């Protein structure tokens, strides 16, 4: 979905062209942290830290991996939790 008019998109592009690499990185990091906070706020407050990490992983990256890889990554989270217990 793109509901940005071409004129506004041009203005946005011009603003970003004038930013340094560091500024662009800081903007991206801020956007990621905001998205992360929104996802965490939507989760059950009673989830363990590992369950929260797994939920974050699935929300952000599930479509980037096949089922087998996802299962392996989730197993890794579970194994790490056992190591730390």
Q: pLDDT by residue (tens digit) across 27-45?
A: 999 999 999 999 999 999 9
pLDDT at residue 56 tops 80:
yes
Which pLDDT does position 66 carry in this prediction?
A: 97
Nearest by Cα to 81 from 55, 45, 48, 59: 48
Task: Give the H or E element holding residue 38.
Answer: helix 21-42
DSSP assigned state of 9: H
């Amino acid at each position: 979905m793109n509901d940005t008019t071409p004129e506004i998109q041009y203005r946005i592009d011009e603003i970003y062209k004038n930013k340094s690499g560091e500024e662009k990185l800081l903007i991206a990091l801020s956007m990621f942290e905001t998205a992360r906070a929104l996802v965490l706020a939507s989760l059950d407050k009673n989830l363990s830290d590992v369950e929260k990490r797994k939920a974050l992983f699935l929300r952000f990256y599930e479509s980037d991996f096949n089922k087998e890889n996802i299962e392996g990554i989730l197993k890794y989270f579970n194994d790490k939790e056992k190591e730390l217990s």
